[in-house]
Amino acid sequence: MNDDEQKTTEELEVLPEELESGKRESAEGVSDDVSFEELNEDGDPIREVKKLKERLNKALEEKQEYLTGWQRERADLANYKKDEESRRSALASLAREKIILDLMPVLDAFDMAMGNKDAWEKADKNWRMGVEYIYNQLVNMLEKHSVQRIGKVGEVFDPNKHESVETLPTDDASKNHTIEKIIQSGYMLAGRIIRPARVRVWE
């Protein structure tokens, strides 16, 4: 083997080691966590990270926007249900009040019939018992629906509950401004006056 052939052989033997060394040198300064597939077209990882951050911020903004919209719609739905329940309750109360007002003449007729003691006592006892039974059933039914009769003889006159249709003079100070007679019973529905009692008052 001449000198030129020996030199060529030595260069070929050294080449694989130099290539391996070159690989190590070219990899210096590059983190193992960086994947070359994640680099953008120009091979700049910093620019790629910036783009990812922008996309993340945009996604977070959209998420917050959707969340705010959902919370607003949920609050609107809750308010709608509450308002609808109030409307239904108000309508039911008005309907119940109308029915009770329509029954007032019937109750007044019972009061007039039983209020005339002389005529009432002359009626057949069994007939009176039957009428009183029907009347008590009607009153009990109204009480179950929060209807209360107002106006009693002897109680102090209250303009919020009573309507004075007549006054009688009195020298008895204890009777002054008290109810002498119930002309027409009043009624209260769930704590609200639907008809004041018409009364005669001592003065």
Please give the DSSP secondary-structure letter assigned to residue 62: H
**According to the model, what pLDDT value does residue 23 have?**
44
Tell me the pLDDT of the chain averaged across its residues.
82
Handedness of CA 177, 184, 129, 98 (dihedral sign): negative
End-to-end CA distance of the chain: 151
CB atoms within 10 A of CB 92: 10
**According to the model, what pLDDT value does residue 29 have?**
45
**According to the model, what pLDDT value does residue 187 have?**
95
Cα pseudo-dihedral 203, 170, 167, 107, rounded to 10: 110
Please give the DSSP secondary-structure letter assigned to residue 36: G
Domain presence at residue 160: yes
**According to the model, what pLDDT value does residue 47 have?**
84
- 175 within 8 A of 161, measured Cβ to Cβ: no
Domain presence at residue 190: yes
Domain presence at residue 93: no
Domain presence at residue 157: yes
User: Where are the strands (E) in the chain, listed by range?
Assistant: 147-150, 162-168, 179-184, 186-189, 192-195, 197-202
**According to the model, what pLDDT value does residue 1 have?**
52
Tell if the pTM clears 0.85, that is, is over it.
Answer: no
Domain presence at residue 40: no
Residue written as tokens 């005669």? 200
**Residue 175 maps to which CATH number?**
2.30.22.10
Domain presence at residue 53: no
14 — pLDDT class (breaks 50, 70, 90): very low
**According to the model, what pLDDT value does residue 3 have?**
52
Domain presence at residue 202: yes
Give the pLDDT mean for 167-176.
Answer: 92
pLDDT(117) > 60: yes
The domain in which residue 150 lies consists of 146-203
**According to the model, what pLDDT value does residue 190 have?**
86
pLDDT 10s digits, 36-74 = 444 455 567 888 888 888 888 888 989 898 988 899 999
Domain presence at residue 151: yes
pLDDT(163) > 90: yes
pLDDT 10s digits, 30-45 = 444 445 444 455 567 8
How many structural domains are present in the chain? 1
